[in-house]
Amino acid sequence: MEDNNDQDNEVFDLLKRIDEYTWEIPREYKPFMRVPGRIYVSRKMLNDVEKQTIDQVANVASLPGIQKYSMAMPDAHLGYGFPIGGVAAFDSEEGVISPGGVGFDINCGVRLIRTDLHVDDVRPVIRELIKKLFEAVPSGLGSKSRLRASDSELDDAFVHGSRWAVEAGYGVEADIEHCEGSGFIEGADPSKVSAKARKRGKPQLGTLGSGNHFLEVQYVDNIYDNDAASVFGLEEGQVTIMVHCGSRGAGHQICTDHLRVLSQSVKNYGISIPDKQLACAPATSTEAQDYFKAMACAANYAWANRQIITHWTREVFEQVFGRDAESLGMDLVYDVAHNVAKLEEHIIDGRKKKVYVHRKGATRAFPPGHSEVPRKYRDIGQPVLLPGSMGSASFVLHGTQEGMDLTFGSACHGSGRAMSRKQAKGTYSGEDVKKKLEKMGIYVEAMSPAVIAEEAPEVYKKSSDVVDVVHELGIARKVARVLPMGVAKG
């Protein structure tokens, strides 16, 4: 124990070990906890979980109507109010809805596109491919799209998500089926979106954004489950494309606008919260429902956004390989949200119950047989897409019944930051990181060197460690690993 510092000892003292990957924060830890907290992490990785993150898990447990546990995935770290990597479900009648449980980048998410191309077909043209993708898909902070959406198109994107984009010519019908929830959330109401959010969102529909968002050309280097991989259309050596982005300024503004309202609701409804950042309102209240209707608009916008990017990506591949996207086998494998709240039915204490599941930096992972899993994948379970950081592996998993029972059908969302952006910028130079990645065979095209430094592989937790916990715990099971060949980012 002498190698543990003070923080570690403190953390160990307050947690109760349930099994190899399950650590409980007992209700006794804080007087306001309505349910215990649960952190799913290996003992080794527990050393990296900050005390502040554990306190956030405990704080979430104070919110009215919370079910079972306030949970944190192995990649959990400090967030706004709720931890990033947090999962919490609230009774749809007695519970609350909280923007902090979704995050600012509403429906930040990931999609995976397969191809029939082999890694050897793509290596020789990777620079050209990435350069063209970088040109075709606007990226960077405040970037504007080459799509000029009208007000009515923006409304349609807000309400219909992926379907709007496909019907506007940006994709094919099968793309819609292969999105979580068919690429939209019901109940979106654009009248709950401020003029300011509309103004920010309108020129950005069809942009990648900045930070850890990326468009990556990858190849499948390892298959863990042949049957599942085959059903998902994946095989070793095959080239895939991953898109990681969200709802841009629109989602950010929607979160900001409604946080202001809900921080007042907390007082109006007499809800006692240990942290102002946990602003919320009773799920049935007008304020909470208005947030949910606006949040759904942002979520749908993000699905439309990833769909438009998919279309432009296909166009670039068509140009470079001189064949149409269909003959290149460029089907959408799946698209998942990892920052969203959803009204779902779960079995709790043996009874079916409707709950608002808040997943913030956590991915839905529904089991085999679930009606929301596309027919094609029904026997396997929902594809769960976990992006790695720039230059590191990404993973494809599938949902399980254990996940449904244990975590409201949720898994982690990726690797999780281990160093702050500021610290990363002070430690690494963008040019050096770019050169290092090139030596590893990964070509990076980015808007600014600072973003490359902020996203250096070293500033993230090892994605394989995080994925292994999820796999061993059984809340999602590994199907395939993909490695980057080239990446375009903000």
Residues that bind DNA (CB under 7 A): 104-105, 108, 141-142, 196, 199-200, 204, 209-213, 245-246, 248-249, 252-253, 417, 421, 455, 490
Please check if 244 is assigned to a binding site: yes
Q: Give whichever of 343 and 450 is closer to DNA, judged by the CB atom.
A: 450
Q: Give whichever of 107 and 407 is closer to DNA, judged by the CB atom.
A: 107
Q: Give whichever of 98 and 204 is closer to DNA, judged by the CB atom.
A: 204
CB contact set of 369 (below 8 Å; sequence gap of 6+)? 378, 379
Q: Give whichever of 99 and 183 is closer to DNA, judged by the CB atom.
A: 99
Give the active site residue among 160, 311, 398, 413: 413
CB contact set of 99 (below 8 Å; sequence gap of 6+)? 255, 258, 259, 262, 279, 280, 291, 295
The DSSP output letter for 434 is: H
CA-to-CA distance for 374 and 162, rounded, in angstroms? 15
Q: Could you tell me the two tokens for 138?
A: 């606007």
Q: CA distances (Å), 163 to each of 152, 213, 289, 364, 440, in order?
A: 15, 23, 23, 20, 39
To DNA, the closest distance from the beta carbon of 344 in angstroms equals 25
To DNA, the closest distance from the beta carbon of 386 in angstroms equals 15
Q: Give whichever of 84 and 404 is closer to DNA, judged by the CB atom.
A: 84
Please check if 259 is assigned to a binding site: no
Q: CA distances (Å), 115 to each of 99, 102, 219, 329, 330, in order?
A: 37, 32, 10, 5, 5
Task: Name the 3-class secondary structure at 136.
Answer: helix
CA-to-CA distance for 385 and 292, rounded, in angstroms? 25
Q: CA distances (Å), 243 to each of 6, 189, 205, 212, 367, in order?
A: 40, 26, 15, 11, 24
Please check if 398 is assigned to a binding site: no
Please check if 489 is assigned to a binding site: yes
CA-to-CA distance for 399 and 359, rounded, in angstroms? 15
Please check if 416 is assigned to a binding site: yes
To DNA, the closest distance from the beta carbon of 256 in angstroms equals 8
Helical (H) or strand (E) element with 21: none
CA-to-CA distance for 25 and 38, rounded, in angstroms? 6
Please check if 124 is assigned to a binding site: no
Please check if 10 is assigned to a binding site: no
To DNA, the closest distance from the beta carbon of 104 in angstroms equals 4
To DNA, the closest distance from the beta carbon of 345 in angstroms equals 30
Which residues face 342 on adjacent strands?
Answer: 357
For CA atoms 362, 367, 370, 374, give the dihedral sign: positive
Q: Give whichever of 249 and 403 is closer to DNA, judged by the CB atom.
A: 249
311 is catalytic: no
To DNA, the closest distance from the beta carbon of 84 in angstroms equals 9
Binding residues for Mn(2+): 105, 213, 244, 338
Binding residues: 105, 212-216, 244, 338-339, 387-390, 394, 413-416, 489
List residues with catalytic annotation: 413
